[in-house]
Every structure is written in structure tokens, then in C-alpha cells.
Amino acid sequence: MDTQPKKSFFKRFWWVLVLIVLIAVLAVGFVLKDKFKPDTVNLAEMADDKFITANPVDLTQILAISRFRSCAGHWYGATSLQGEPEASSSLKHYFVPQEEFSPSDNQVNVFSPFDGVIESIEYSGRGNHLTLVPNEADSWQLTIFHVKNLESMVEGQQVTAGELLGYAVFSERGDDFDISLKARTENFYQNIDSIFNHFSGNVLSGYSATGASVQEMIIDKQVRAQSPCTCKDGQPNTTYCNFPTDYLDPVHYFTLEQ
């Protein structure tokens, strides 16, 4: 007669349970990965989205804005929204404050550009990077760099268009803050577009009053391809590649008409 105590079900089949949990985790990962996987048809449809319904800045506080594909700041962005390779440039917009606001970290307002959610907040050394996803166009993500966000603004927080997120951070004269926009694809530096292409009519009219039209604020892709931005230091095609552009160079920055 067998007098050995029988092992519990869990002790006998623990490895089966672990395997099931592992498979479930992997399955969820693949679902999320596929959700944001680049898709040519979807990306093409996204080109006409007009989901930025509130200005993320107070234009009276802004002196100048860098053009999309400028040689301002540093390298940023490898491909266009449709995934086409881009020549070396900055695929985002830098916002330069009026001189009276440098330095400061509690004066230049930063607003939510749409109804959405704060997906992530990352420390940047000079304020935080806030990445937001719009409720009505959740295939996009917009990142505002160098912000001192309000304490109430945390990851997962729902925000409304025009709601105050915090303040841009400037340590010294010449500092700026920047905004980038991209499809929610796997690579952070791919499938990028200009925010100006996705302003609603009322937002764009505010910029138009300062002379900042879509055509004025976006350097043509072919023009940049013929004259890629060069590094003054750092590794090419990385964010360590700093461009030797002069402060407020009119080729790369547009000074607003106030």
C-alpha cells in the first residue's frame, strides 16, 4: 500500500500554469504591437486628419517658430508620415519665447491641443516631455518637450482641448521648447509630420494672423533633400547631431508678426 502523500494539483502542474500565463502575456504583446504597426493605407488616410483643435501655445508669448525640416537645434526624424526616408533635418517645431520670458519656468503657457489623454511623462533635464494621444484620432501621438507640468497632470490623465498643462522651461536666453507629432508606430523617429498639417481651421487662422501659414512653416521635402543639414558635432542621424544654425536664422525660423 502506497503511504506517500499525494502532491497537490498546483505542485504537480505548476509549470503548466506558468506556461499558460506566459502565452497570455505574449499574446497581449503581439496584439498591442499589431495595433500600432505601420500600415500604408491607414497612414495615407491619416494625412488629412485635423484633430488639433486648440493652440498649444499663447502666440503673444512666442517670438519665433522653427520650420519643419529646418536645420534648427539637432537632428530629429528619419521618415515622413508615409515612411519615406527624410534627409537630415529637424522634423519638429521649436517655439522661441519673447525675450522677457527667458529665463522662466512659470510664465509661458502650454495647453492641451485636443481632448485626449497624457500617455507618458518623461524627465528631460529641463522640465519634462509630455506625450499626449487624442481621443478622436488615437493613431497619433504628440510630444511637447521641456514643460513643467502641473501637479494634477499625471500619466493617464484625461485632458480637454485648451486646458493648461503647465509651463515651458527656459534656463537662459536662447532656450526654446519644441513640439513633435508622429503616428503611433514602433520607431520613435519614424512616421513624423508637422503639426501645421493637422490644425483645425480656427487654430490655423490664429497662426495666419501672425503670417505663419502652412506653406511658410514647412520646408519642401525635395528642397531639404538637395541640401541636408550637417552636424557641427555629434553622430549623424542621431539626436546628438547638433546643427550649426544661428539663433533665429530666417531660413530656419519664422519670426511672428505681432
Confidence (pLDDT) at 24: 56
Q: What is the total residue count of the chain?
A: 258
Q: For residue 258, what pLDDT is reported?
A: 87
pLDDT for 186: 85
Instruction: Mark the ranges of the chain whose per-residue pLDDT is less than 50.
Output: 1-2, 25, 27-41
DSSP string, 181-235: EEES-SSTTSSEE-GGGGB-HHHHHHHHTTT--HHHHB--HHHHHHS----SBS-
pLDDT at 9: 54
For 93, the grid coordinates are 517645431
Regarding pTM above 0.75, the answer is yes
pLDDT digits (tens, 9 = 90+) for 179-228: 999 999 988 899 999 999 999 999 999 999 999 999 999 999 999 999 99
| Cell reading at 19 | 506556461
What is the reported pLDDT for 44? 84
Spans of all domains in the chain: 41-255
Place of cell 485648451: 162
pLDDT at 124: 87
Burial of 39 (0-12, 13-18, 19+ CB in 10 A): middle
Question: What pLDDT score was predicted for residue 12?
Answer: 60
pLDDT at 33: 44
- Yes or no: is domain 41-255 CATH 3.30.70.260? no
Buried b (16+ CB within 10 A) or exposed e, 99-120: eebbebbebbbbbbbbbbbbbe
